[in-house]
Structure 1
Amino acid sequence: MALFGSSAPSTTTSTTGDTSKDVEVAQAELPQDSISDLMFSPSSDYLAVASWDKKVYIYEVNANGVKGKWFFEMKGAVFGVAFAKDGARIAAGDSEGTLSVCDLRQANQAGGQVQTQDLPGAHGQAVKCVKWFQTNGQDFVVTGSWDRKIKYWDLKGSTPVGEVDCGERIYTMDVKDNLLVVGTAERHIHMINLNEPGKIAKTISSPLKWQTRVVSCFTDASGFAVGSIEGRCAIQYADDKNTSLNFSFKCHRQQDATHRDIAKVYSVNCISFHPIHGTFSTAGSDGTFHFWDKDAKHRLKGYPEVGGSITATGFSRNGDIFAYAISYDWSKGYSANTPQYPIKLKLHPIIGDECKPRPGTKKR
């Protein structure tokens, strides 16, 4: 998918990235409240965006730009959104505990709305995370909630086909192949083998000392990255044989202008892995995003501050576009959420070697 046509390859070796070619979604087509999650379709040129304004927006992205295609509304603020592998279905979860699924093949284009299959009361509290996975060729949705449970759904009925009690409120969750990783309050991280979805295979305490903000699975499902509220990211392998490869590093920190020994620390809100190269992005409350090579333990590019906290990120299916949302992330409490705080959705074309691993890096 070429955004606004093909771009010339980058010839610079600078580690400072360029956002001048980033494409911004028109103000009239943006959500009216903070963006909580986003995901590109794995099979088509669509981008789904979840918002606190109780809506899920589906945009079409092509050489002509970004255009709002459909939307659907839920009962509460939408916290999680995900495409099925076929790219035709979207699942979303909201603050009222509802799970909604829409099939874009049945979309009613009149008025831009789509029909949804709603499961109110899917959870006793907010549905924080929603993901799809496949087992034996069958599609399932897995939801994670503040009610401390994950539940599995085959969408053939209104009841889950399985559930697991995770012991604490679920803040973040990711799936890749048979690996499901769940991050909860009190810094617990659970790993589940989806060949045996009814039990937790392994539980660890986060390698980071402060509250877990995000987990994201490697592209080869051999492990995951963890981001915390304290400006740190950790690389964690699932197999105990690879513990020597685990490490953590500081990021999303700013040197104080007047005190060189003081740094301002910001939350790592989002981590997204490039689908082709296996490199990854971090984005945070400081309004910056960075691309990293975990195997070389090296930052590839760092980008200028974008004017507000980054609350959601994702790569397109071919890895040629990086989408990021700018909106309030509650890191400074209720009082900082003013009507003047920006809400933006931007698409960054991946040019040249921005996300390619360093030459000579051994892939693990």
Structure 2
Amino acid sequence: MTSVGRELSNPPLDGISNLRFSNHSDLLLVSSWDKSVRLYDATANILRSQFLHSAPVLDCCFHDDSSGFSASSDNTVRRLLFSSNKEDILGTHDAPVRCLDYSYAAGQLVTGSWDKTIKCWDPRGASGQHHTLVGTYPQPERVYSLSLVGHRLVVATAGRHVNVYDLRNMSQPEQRRESSLKYQTRCVRCYPNGTGYALSSVEGRVAMEFFDLSEPSQAKKYAFKCHRKSEAGRDIVYPVNAMAFHPIYGTFATGGCDGYVNVWDGSNKKRLYQYSKYPSSIAALSFSRDGRLLAVASSYTFEDGPKPHEQDAIYVRSVNEIEVKPKPKVYANPPA
């Protein structure tokens, strides 16, 4: 077992809602229930800038290394300018904004809200103007999680609905699906190679899904149990809050309310690694762009209601190849 990694100084003071590495550097953006968005230099362990909103911040993402976006429970979508520490409101939803991501392929910001809509924004519009809205797309239920790969957008909502879109034609979903997991969706993440997505639930399971609707492709899909333990003859099951794909190897990490981070080889259906237990629930995970660092948010997610808990912390750990690289298949009788 290796250590949990290096703890970043100046962490958020209340639940961490998400963290993300930049696509261009080792900058790390962190959103929190303490109404802040923090920008860290993860390698130097420096808090570079901080933004304070009027309400808890539920998600954040980068635009580039000079700006980012945040999703707030005050229904606003904000643009953050790192160098000047200024922010402006890009637009609003009719309820808290739960998740967002920036599409480099489409040059648009995609936001999902508890108002049961997805909105797409062109952030190149005039500062502070609402006319940057590209479109509003109704969803069957409150949006819990979304993920992008290329021009594809996957939206996971309450009621176990999953909608798959092509960002070039948002008039209707390409596919309307139902989660193959029986319980509430916690997180959805697209495979880096663009062939499908992983879905996690509150009931200690992950489903591996594929976009291609042909029979051979659909035959490859499966679900597996994780983040659970047996105690005194009964199964204790933990929500799987977070997933992150390794950008080089396509393996992925899961984080649960059990305080563990596991690394999986989805193609070979194997667990590659389990890191040492963290002090609290794993609220969010992100690999750096080169896959050499993994940021882990250890932060109580109130799965057992209000109670005394460990202080929120962000750990940045160096990733060894052995932890994330798929192992070659071993044949019982090697080919001659």
- Name the TM tier (shorter chain): over 0.9
**Match runs of 1:14-29 below 5 Å:** 17-19=1-3, 22-26=5-9, 29=10
For 1:307, the aligned partner's letter is P
Residue matched to 1:7: none
**Match runs of 1:81-120 below 5 Å:** 81-84=60-63, 86-104=64-82, 107-108=83-84, 114-119=85-90
**Match runs of 1:1-364 below 5 Å:** 17-19=1-3, 22-26=5-9, 29-62=10-43, 65-84=44-63, 86-104=64-82, 107-108=83-84, 114-119=85-90, 122-135=92-105, 139-155=107-123, 156=125, 157-159=129-131, 160-241=133-214, 242-256=217-231, 258-259=232-233, 262-333=234-305, 335-336=306-307, 338=308, 340-360=309-329
Residue matched to 2:334: none
Which SS does the other structure have where 1:72 is aligned? Answer: strand
8 A contact 1:162–1:198 mirrored in 2: no
Shift of 1:194: 1.3
CA RMSD of aligned residues (A): 1.4
List alignment gaps of at least 5 residues for structure 1.
1-16, 109-113
Which SS does the other structure have where 1:276 is aligned? Answer: coil
Shift of 1:293: 0.5
Distance 1:305 1:274 in 2: 20
Shift of 1:61: 2.2
Which SS does the other structure have where 2:218 is aligned? Answer: helix
8 A contact 1:280–1:291 mirrored in 2: yes
Instruction: With the length of structure 2 as denominator, give the TM-score of the two structures.
Output: 0.93
Shift of 1:228: 0.2
List alignment gaps of at least 5 residues for structure 2.
331-336
Which SS does the other structure have where 1:128 is aligned? Answer: strand
Distance 1:37 1:243 in 2: 31
Instruction: With the length of structure 1 as denominator, give the TM-score of the two structures.
Output: 0.86
Which SS does the other structure have where 1:240 is aligned? Answer: coil
Residue identity (%)? 34
Which SS does the other structure have where 2:219 is aligned? Answer: helix
Distance 1:71 1:246 in 2: 42
Structure 1 segments of 4 or more deviating over 3 A? none
Cα deviation 1:34-92 (Å, max 9, x = unaligned): 10001001002200000001110000122xx31100011122110011112x3332111
8 A contact 2:140–2:161 mirrored in 1: no
Distance 2:277 2:318 in 1: 17
Distance 2:167 2:212 in 1: 15
Cα deviation 1:174-201 (Å, max 9, x = unaligned): 1111111111011001111112123211
Which SS does the other structure have where 1:124 is aligned? Answer: coil
More strand by share: 2
Cα deviation 1:120-151 (Å, max 9, x = unaligned): 5x10000000100134xx52101000000000
Aligned residue pairs total 323
Shift of 1:360: 4.2
Shift of 1:102: 1.7
